[in-house]
Amino acid sequence: MDILVSMKQVPDTQKVKIDPERGTLIRKGVPAIANPFDESALEVALDLKERLGGTVTVITMGIPDAECLLRDALTLGADRAVLLTDRDFAGADTLATSYALSMAIRALGGFDLLLFGKQAIDGDTAQVGPETACHLGMPVITFVSSIVSAGNGGVVVERMIEGGLEVMRSDFPVLLTIVKAPRRLRIPTLDGIIASLNVPVRRMGASDIGAQASLCGLKGSPTRVKKVFTPAVHSKIRFFEGSAEEKARGFAELLREKGIAR
Amino acid sequence: MSPRDIWVFVERRNGRAHPVSFELLSKANALKGELGGDLVALFVGEVGPVLKEECEAYGADEVLWISAGGAMPAPDSCEIMADLVARTARERAPSVLLAGATVFGRTFMPLVAVRLRTGLTADCTELAVDAERKLLLQTRPAFGGNILATIVCPDTKPQMATVRPHVFRMEKVKEPKAARLETALFDASPMRVAELLETIVETEEAGVAESDVVVSGGRGLGKPEGFELLATLARKLGGVVGASRGAVDLGWIRASHQVGQTGNTVNPKLYVACGISGAIQHVTGMKGSEVIVAINEDPDAPIFQIADYGIIGDLYEVIPRILEELGDGGRG
């Protein structure tokens, strides 16, 4: 089984700070991390490879520095790594990003299973996975929480829906988006690190994957960011004071006031 | 029907419309004046008189249902619904297409956007109109809720957005008018789709993302049994139990209850955070709640910075007294 994992380098949103005057993000000094959902997807892929054989290819679109994300994946047991990097890709929204990824996936060819994190923690759109599947004309199963079985030309998975789970099946090739897995991403072994040193990271630009420049990056993005601002500051908190009974009474009164209790 | 129409995709579950669809109809009805065009409630599959009347109550000028001709090969398939909606939109050229940011909506809308080669803005928390350019101003949080961005889709149509449940209010119009009933007929295109084998319902109640009231617990509960107390309060208030990542990681409660960046995002009318410190990842998932009440022993807990109401104290003392205070007066 040949698996592709799509990953993204994101700023650690816990450490992002805001310029209070301009209302813009201060990215300087904010560490770049692997998107946590993509790490779950990678762990799922490595686990499947261990149990069923096959290969794992990791791909990312980003600045040349994003190579370190791919290098890390190689130390953990990924077989191939592809960095999509090109000035033409800059400023892409989800439509242009998914277009470029789909063209690269077509150019590389031959995957049974495509794994994406359910969303990236910087944009939180959850759109790039399904949009990539749509460009490729293949089925997508979103919010997958576990792989029940894989092989024999298809996969059975559980996905999280409101108030429960769905068990779904698809033939290969299929694209899955993965929610945070119970298992954390493995840590590299010394052997893994040494073995990865000989593996090159393949760089590809728009022309290498046959993508039309007019459909990539900002040019290929139908959406525009008109304004960025910080959320309004929260008004002051009111504490319910007194004994436990008095606090409870204050809370109960609030519930009645809001029509939540009689 | 005109090329300026605003479409709201109505998601159906067990034959009934999802409430978020009515919330979106209400909001779109308020924007209609500035945006121009008619408000269209869009369905895949036949619409009965009850459902039509409900859409009229929230301001729909037209109810448009798409019929897939013969039997639908997989009636709930996002791919097939996206194909039908995209083909209808190509023919009728709406200016706006909105849907709920449910699990279904978040899968289906990207598939429509790619087919129509247009922009899609996920999880908007505000929609407004640039009246001069007739553009939908779509505001959404990003970077873990640290910033808000207003997005426009100036050159392609429809302008597409998803909105989470509970973000907008349901508002019935004062004098509902009869809506036109239109049908679009297509044969479902042959395509390979994923197949639903089984649905496992974990809870008969609404999921944590959809409930009006969420009572959440964190590590501060100190023990897994604390969730039983929270469940009692939640039931009394007609709500469900949520949890922080910390409590889920300790194995005290299933991950489907988790609220926060790596769990569910919730916007209930009331969110009660019990023994939750208020790490940014948790706050990201719940700060859209209408009223936030925090119960915590630590007066310096960051949760008090974002809560509307606070109780500093031992939740095992306070919550039983809240239950006593409410008596039989809860919703549940």
Going from the N-terminus, what domains does chain B have, and what CATH number goes with each? 6-185 (3.40.50.620), 213-326 (3.40.50.1220)
Q: What is the mean pLDDT of residues B225-234?
A: 95
Smallest CA–CA distance, residue B52 to chain A, in Å, is: 25
Q: What is the pLDDT of residue B162?
A: 97
pTM of the predicted model as reported, rounded to 2 decimal places:
0.86
| Ranges of residues in chain A whose predicted pLDDT is under 50 | none
pLDDT digit string (tens) for B193-219?
999 999 998 765 567 888 899 999 999
Q: What residues form DSSP beta bridges with A164?
A: A161, B201
Q: Which residue has the higher pLDDT, A230 or B184?
A: B184
Residues of A in contact with B204 (CB under 8 A): 163
**Which pair of tokens denotes residue B239?**
């709500």
Q: With cut-offs at 50, 70 and 90, classify the pLDDT of residue B29.
A: very high
Contacts of A167 in chain B (CB under 8 A): 196-200
Task: Please tell me the CATH superfamily of domain A2-220, with its number.
Answer: HUPs (3.40.50.620)
| CB < 8 Å to A237, chain B | 304-305, 307-310
Q: Positive or negative CA dihedral for A88, A93, A96, A100?
A: positive
Instruction: Tell me the percentage of chain B whose pLDDT exceeds 90.
Output: 69
What does the pLDDT average to over B301-306?
90
Of A125, A140, A262, which has the smallest distance from its Cβ to B107's Cβ? A140
pLDDT digits (tens, 9 = 90+) for B149-182: 999 999 999 999 999 888 888 999 999 999 999 9
Can you give the pLDDT at residue B72? 61
Please name the member of B137, B197, B202 whose beta carbon is closest to the beta carbon of A167. Answer: B197
Mean pLDDT, residues B100-126: 96
- For A48-107, what is each residue's pLDDT tens digit? 999 999 999 999 999 999 999 999 999 999 999 999 999 999 999 999 999 999 999 999
Average confidence (pLDDT) over B51-72 = 89
Say what the pLDDT of residue A17 is. Answer: 72
Quickly state the pLDDT bin for B240 (edges 50, 70, 90).
Answer: very high
Domain boundaries of chain A, sorted by first residue: 2-220, 232-262
Q: Which residues of A touch B293 (CB under 8 A)?
A: 251, 254
> Given B103, B114, B200, which is nearest A143 (Cβ)?
B103
CB contact under 8 A, B322 and A171: no
- A237–B304 CB contact, under 8 Å: yes
Distance from CA of A60 to the nearest CA of B (A): 19
The pLDDT score that the predictor gives to residue B3 is: 66
Residue B205 to chain A, least CA–CA distance (Å): 7
Stretch B29-39: mean pLDDT, rounded? 94
Determine the Cα–Cα distance for residues B66 and B84; give it in Å rounded to an integer. Answer: 7
